[in-house]
Amino acid sequence: MTDALKKRLTQFPIIACCGMTRHVQVKALQKEARVKKQGNGIKGKGSILEKAKGAWLASFSVVGMLPLFQRKKLQPPAAEPTSEPELPKGWLRPEPAETLLATPRRQKLLEHIWQRTSLSRQQFNTLHLIPLQRYAELVQQFPASESHHHAYPGGMLDRGLEIVTYALKLRQSHLLPAGASPEDQAAQSEVWTAATAYAALLHDIGKIAVDIHVELMDDSIWHPWHGTLQ
């Protein structure tokens, strides 16, 4: 390196950062190259400028490849879903209301019930869906009878939804309360609709206290006043 180049290089600040030192030196040499059009050490394959550029690119390449050699954090293995033990024949596991009401036929009945009201979806959920969910958790998969109608697991829930749907269809043909003014009937319309649905839903509720014997796996007997099955 000539004395002139050394003097030029000392006039530029040196930044202590990987790759930046070479960058400053290259800038200095490029400026020198513009000043001197000819001369050894500026042009040519083995010139100082080419060597400085090569060193700068090499330092940058190493920095860019560092992330490739860093150890990646190992993710903990996903926990395998634990399957519930299979129940002995004749036993049923209590289910949440969302599962009990999720069958296509029961979803269709719920849609019919909503269509027979004049409520928004949120209002319907408060006045009708929540009581129906509580009813589902109470009757679970009980049959509605031993050998008559709906005598199969889940028959009581199906029967309850069907009766509510039919009762609200009949409700549309009546103005309640009877004999009241049209203004009062309009104001109380959804109250009477909800009352009709509740009466229809609970018309058979006594069966789970009188006609059905529910035994738990710990040999205890369940009664409706114990609350919903867990």
Complete DSSP assignment for 61-99: HHHHHHHHHSPPPPPPPPPPPPPPPPPPTT------HHH
- Per cent of the chain over pLDDT 90 is 45
3 state SS of 138: helix
pLDDT at 3 over 50: yes
pLDDT tens digits, 65-122: 444 445 555 566 665 656 667 777 778 889 999 999 999 999 999 999 999 999 999 9
Mean pLDDT over 144-155 rounds to: 88
- Per cent of the chain over pLDDT 70 is 63
pLDDT tens digits, 32-66: 555 454 444 444 445 555 554 554 444 444 444 44
pLDDT on residue 122: 95
Q: Measuring CA to CA, which residue among 124, 125, 107 is closest to residue 116?
A: 124
